[in-house]
Homo-oligomer: A and B are copies of this chain.
């Protein structure tokens, strides 16, 4: 609160508040139809504000997008390292968050899809997305791989290569939707993801099982 309110008509919401509200709505747009498919007219209409107000708060479309990415700093993978004694399959399931519920997950998948689809086309935003999402995720998984190899839980293998192939497998099916695809339901896709982890762990199991 100000001791003295400024002269004219007061803003209906504070700028910060309004920005948040816009980002939240715009996020749905971006995640739904991508960067190119999102129009400022659409966002303004959806927010029930005029383009004038929208452009006052976000001078350009890229600003809005960047704000959305920054706000949406939810990473692709679970950052908190799961407890060491978990079976590897469960640990990976936790890292890939194969347990979270629909709405949360849809948002995450949409974000990943956005990253994969749009980063080529709009170099301006590619860096934002990649640096916020894909890169940290790959790094996280790589260090996890390294750690498991040091423990002897996985056979020696280039850790980044392993991380990469696992991410490609799991996210590949979580994200992509081919017309003739029969992996449509959440259960199907999560089952597929677990299959990936299964094959992956078998493929990287150390020669002499420790047990």
**Interface residues in A15-54 (C-beta closer than 8 Å to B):** 34, 36-37
Q: Oligomeric state, in number of copies? A: 2
Are B34 and A121 closer than 8 Å at their CB atoms?
yes
| Chain A interface, DSSP helix/strand/loop, else mixed | helix
Q: A200 — which chain B residues lie within 8 A by C-beta?
A: 199, 203
> Smallest Cβ distance from A161 to chain B, in angstroms?
5
Task: Contact check, A180 vs B117: say whether CB atoms are below 8 A apart.
Answer: no
> Quick check: is A8 within 8 A (CB to CB) of the other chain?
no
Q: Does A66 contact B (CB under 8 A)?
A: no
Q: Are A121 and B37 in contact (CB under 8 A)?
A: yes
Q: Using an 8 Å CB-CB cutoff, how does the interface string of A169-180 with B read, 1 for contact, 0 for none?
A: 100110010111
Residues from chain B with Cβ under 8 Å of A205 in the complex: 202
Q: A168-B172, A203-B202 are in contact. Are A120 and B120 (CB under 8 A)?
A: no
Is the Cβ of B34 less than 8 Å from the Cβ of A157?
Answer: no
Output the least CB separation between A172 and chain B (Å): 3
Which of A73-81, A87-95, A98-106, A127-135 touches B? A127-135
